[in-house]
Structures are given as C-alpha cells and as structure tokens.
Chain A
Amino acid sequence: MIGVWNKLNKSTRTNFITIGVIILIYVLCQVMVAAGLMTFLMKGLLIQFCYYAILAVSLNLTVGILGELSLGHAGFMCVGAFASAFFSKSMIDVIENNFIRFSLAIIIGALSAAVFGVIIGVVVLRVRGDYLAIVTLAFGEIIKNVINVMHIGLDSRGFHFSMEVGKLELLEDGEMIIDGAQGIIGTPRDSNFTIGVIFLIITYLIVTNLVNSRSGRAIMAIRDNRIAAESVGIDITKYKILAFTISATLAGVAGVIYSHNITTLEAGRFGYNMSIMILVFVVLGGMGNIRGSMIAAVILTLLPEYLRFLKNYRMLIYAIVLIVMMIFNWSPACINWRKRHSLKDFMNQLMKRFIKSKKEA
C-alpha cells in the first residue's frame, strides 16, 4: 500500500488527499444532520457550498490558469440553470425516473453553457487584447435580461413563446414553464448535497487533471508569456478557447445543481453581483490555486450568514473581513506557516513513520 502511494505521481497524490478531505467533510456533515446537530440554516447552506465551490474552481481555470479576466461567470451558470430547469419541468411527467431526468438535465445544462462559452471564446479570444472582461460582463447582463422577459408555456398543442406578459393563450391543460421575471417555479428537486459533492469532486478532477496535463501546460504557458508560447508552437487560440469553454461548461453544471434545488428560479439572481462574488472567491483563494478556491467559496458563503446579526452593517463588515483576510492570507508569514503545515507533508511524515515502525517490528 505504501509502495503504491510512493509510486503515484505528485499530482495524483495531491488529488487523493484533497478528495479524501472533501469526502471526510461530507461524511461529517451527514452524520451531524442525522444526529440533529445541524441548524436549519446550515443544512440549507450545504448545497450552496458545493455549487459556489464549483463556480469558483471553474472560474479559476479562466482567471488563474488561463490568465484572462471574466466578469460574466454567473451568466454561464444562468444558462445552465434555465436550460436544465426548462427541460426538467417540461419532462416531469414524461421521464419519471429522477436519476435519468437529472442526468439528462446535467448534460443539457452543461452543453448549453458550453455553446455560449465556445461562441464567446471564438469571437473574443482570437483577437489580442483584454476584451474578454467587457464582453463577458455584457453577456452576463444580456442573458439575465433576455430570460427576464421570456414567457414560455406548454399545453397539449405544444410550446408557446412570447416576450410580453400575459400574451400566451394557453389551453386549460396548459402550464407556464418560464414566466418572465418570475422565472421557473416548481423545478423538480432532483439535486441535493450528495449530488453537489459528487459534482464538486468531478469538477476538481477535471480542472486539476487538465492543469497537470499537456494542455494545461500550454494554457499556463500562454498566461505566463504569450510570445514565448507562440515561439514554441503552442496554438494560442485553441487552448484559450478550450480553457474558457471548460470553465463555462462547469459553471453550467453548477447552474443545474442550483436550479434543481430551489423552488423559484429567477434570472435576476444571476447578475453582475454574483459574477463579482465568484471572482472574489477566486482572488481570495489564490489565482490558480484550485483548493484555495474551494476553501474561499465555503468560508465566504458561510460568513455573510453568520454576520446577519449585524443587520445594516453586514455588507460593510463583510467587506472589511474580506480585506483583512486578503492581507492575512497573502502575508509572507502566513504563506510560510501554510508551507510548514501542509497536509501533504503531514501525510508523507505519517507514511515514513509507518514504514519505520514496520521495519522495526
């Protein structure tokens, strides 16, 4: 067993440790829920941790690994959330098996976000310059506002579409699926904390395995020095679009998990504020630091909930806490401390001690 551990390459070992920790926390949470030790508020937050962590990890791929600024990550989440919720709600009576329906919903949410990712990537990332931030910012707002005025209903004659309120003349048996600003009500609650954790692990694996592969090196080479990357024959456009599309796709998946866990899905939730919030997770967790993104997403989702007692001062204090965390987190002393107390070293030491004791025996 130790032999196998030592044989694994470094990134595989790190993967195992990280996933181990995620599963440990997951089990701990489930035990607490079962034992009735978790507050109602906390229980509701569990799935939020998952989709915010997925969003942070996926955005880190664009911002930290590729080195391009994206200000519309919530837009991709929005696309994934609405496309999949639309599907699930329309199909609720057709596909009765939750597992199959939700699996299809994930695929639909991921693909629709991917389509927008590719379109934006192809248009923007081919040209030099920092246009991505502006275009993604616009994209996020446009998507939100377009969905806000969409009315789609379904009756025995089929789908009906309108951009105006009350223009849909549905039959008796008809039902609104997307109702403008009110969004989608009554998406089947197919996702839960467990599913969230599974997709968080999948997201983590996709991003870290990509980063530690040939393509990941190409992506980081572009970030570090575009001209040098070209000089060794790395196809800049291809890898930029690849990274950005994977990032968008994963945000779409987060959207699916989100939309299948709430009663009312409103486009208004996916604004500029949310995109910035995800960006804050990434910056605070560390550019290019995948585990940091997850930790930051959890802490910063938890924090505002526990600051509620501050009432009007909540966001002010939140901002101050952010700044303090930022300074603390990236101070040399703290970085050194983290290096000295890394989990990987701890595991290695544990293994060494284990080997020693075995030899002595």
Chain B
Amino acid sequence: MEMLSVKNIGISFGGLHAVDSFSITINKGELYGLIGPNGAGKTTVFNLLTGVYKPDMGQIFLDGKNITGLSTIEINKAGIARTFQNIRLFKNMSVLDNVKCGLHNNNKYSSLAGILRLPSYFKKEKDMTKQAYAILKVFDLDKDAKILSANLPYGKQRKLEIARALATDPKLLLLDEPAAGMNPSETEELMDTIRLVREKYDVTILLIEHDMKLVAGICEKIFVLNFGIELANGLPQDVLNNPEVIKAYLGE
C-alpha cells in the first residue's frame, strides 16, 4: 500500500532549480533513505512535502489523499511530521512541554477549560503527561522531562525533536539528518531507536542522511539526489554500486 506518492514535484528559487521533477513512492511501513551531496536539494524536498514551500509543479499524495498546496499545519494534521536539520526546539519550554506541544491536536480541551481549570483540564493534562512520558522513555529522555529543552546536550536535542514529531501521531515521519553532529556510538544508538520507533508506532519513515554507509545499514530503499535531480533510486546494494552514484560521491 502506498503511503506517500510524489509525482514530478519541483521548485526553483530565482533561476536555480533546487528540486526538479522529483518523484518517489514510499510504501506503508517502509524506511526510506534520501541521500545526496550538500546542496543537492534534500531539505528542500522536505520543505515541499510539508508545505513550507509550495511546489511550482507536480502533486503529492499522502495515503491516497492529495495534499498538494495545503498549509504546513494542515499537512501535519493529515499525517506528516518532521524534524529540522538546524534544530528547532521550543527552547524556553521544558522537555516535557515540547512533547506536549506535539500532542496538541490529538488531545483537545478548550482554552476556557484551561483558564477555569475545569475537570476536563485535569483529565486531559494527566493523559497528555502520561503519553508524553511514554514517548520520552523511548528516547531515554524521561529523566530529563523537567529540564529546559535548551539545556539538553546536542544529541538529546535531536532526539527530543523526533519525540515531538512522533507525538503528533504521524503516518509519515521525515527526519532531516537526525545523526548530524553525533559521534559513531551515538549514531548507532539513534539508528536502533529509529528502527524501534518504526515498529512501535507503526510509522513510515523518510530520512535524510549524509553518510551513505549508515543509510545503507538501516534503510530498505535509497533515493539519491544530485543538483535537484534523481540520480538513483532503489535497493541499497543497487544504489551503492551504481557508477553514477559513486562518481557523484567521489567527486564531492
């Protein structure tokens, strides 16, 4: 079953075709890797998928529903959550509250109930705290729940971003260089966590990574982007042995 189906999307900034005729099909439950040299247009693909940029052409379907041109908020509600290459946490809020922000749309009570502290406030807040702790535990962040998110070490900040995205209960999770800035053992651990998350939360994942070997170890399929254009797409062993890919990477 197709979870994400992208048909020929593209965008240019001024004269630069940042992404050109990008097409991909991701099946439900797949872990897909998106790789390519710096400036290849990977982050731009994420921005197109999440409505940060509107594509100049092409269409995007999520779980059969056309989401082309929707706003970021609507796209999140439809089921796409993401992390950012340059971490974007709610810095002045606690780790717990960051995750609770992710739970915002699936745990509703009115502002008035909050101000008047009606029973629904206490009930839902208790619920949300429980859910948030459950997610934090997956990332081994439950002990840091009360800490200000800005005070977390870098690696944990990256994990918290994933936790927050996961809290929105997405169908598709987009991870933009989740291991950036981590040492090899941290990276290893993160990849295990990502695998675990996929099983536990029944989520489809598209992840951007710089390190090709690393991606090959965890992803079922890989898409290689170069100068905004598809260079290769398919099973890891085929992609890694593709002469064009080798050339692009050696030439970097």
Q: Which residues of A contact B (CB under 8 A)?
A: 9, 12, 205-206, 209-210, 212-218, 220-221, 223-225, 227-236, 242, 288
Contacts and interface: CB of A to CB of B under 8 A. Distances in A.
Given A209-B116, A225-B91, A230-B73, A215 B111 contact: yes
A210 B114 CA distance: 6
Given A213-B115, A215-B114, A233-B73, A227 B104 contact: no
A233 B104 contact: yes
B118 to A, nearest CB: 10
A221 B90 CA distance: 6
A231 B165 contact: yes
A215 B167 CA distance: 17
A217 B104 contact: yes
B165 A232 contact: yes
B242 to A, nearest CB: 33
A236 B71 CA distance: 11
15 contacts: A210-B114, A210-B115, A213-B115, A213-B125, A214-B124, A217-B100, A218-B101, A220-B90, A227-B88, A228-B89, A230-B72, A231-B72, A232-B76, A233-B168, A235-B73
Contacts of B107: 214
A266 B129 CA distance: 50
Given A224-B93, A235-B73, A236-B73, A229 B101 contact: yes
Which applies to chain A's interface (DSSP): helix, strand, loop or mixed?
Answer: helix
Contacts of A229: 90, 101
Given A231-B84, A233-B77, 7 more contacts: A213-B125, A217-B101, A232-B81, A232-B104, A233-B73, A233-B104, A236-B73
Contacts of A209: 114-117
Interface string B68-92: 0001110011000110100011111
Nearest to A211: B114
A228 B88 contact: yes
Contacts of A12: 117
Contacts of B92: 220, 223-224, 288
Contact of B114 (A216, A221, A231): A216
Interface string B98-132: 00111011011101011111000100110010000
Contacts of B84: 227-228, 231
Chain B interface residue count: which class? Answer: 35 or more
B6 interface: no
Interface of B: 50, 52, 71-73, 76-77, 81-82, 84, 88-93, 97, 100-102, 104-105, 107-109, 111, 113-117, 121, 124-125, 128, 164-165, 167-168
A214 B90 contact: no
Nearest to A213: B114
Given A216-B114, A217-B97, A242-B111, A230 B76 contact: yes
A232 B164 contact: yes
Most buried by A among B113, B115, B125, B168: B115
In the complex, the 5 A-B pairs of residues with the closest C-beta atoms, listed nearest first: A213-B114, A233-B76, A224-B90, A228-B88, A230-B72
A288 B91 CA distance: 14
Contacts of B100: 214, 217
Contact of B93 (A221, A231, A235): A221
Nearest to B78: A233
B165 A217 contact: no
A221 B89 CA distance: 9
Given A231-B76, A231-B165, A232-B167, A214 B81 contact: no
B215 to A, nearest CB: 23
A308 B164 CA distance: 54
Contacts of B116: 209
Contacts of A217: 93, 97, 100-101, 104
Contact of A227 (B52, B77, B93, B113): B52
B30 to A, nearest CB: 22
Contacts of B117: 12, 209
A298 B133 CA distance: 40
A213 B120 CA distance: 11
Nearest to A210: B115
A210 B73 contact: no
Nearest to B105: A233
A227 B161 CA distance: 13
Contacts of B81: 231-232
Most buried by B among A9, A232, A242: A232
Contacts of B77: 233
B161 to A, nearest CB: 8
Nearest to B100: A217
Nearest to B146: A10
Contact of B91 (A212, A224, A227, A235): A224
Contacts of B89: 224-225, 228
A220 B94 CA distance: 11
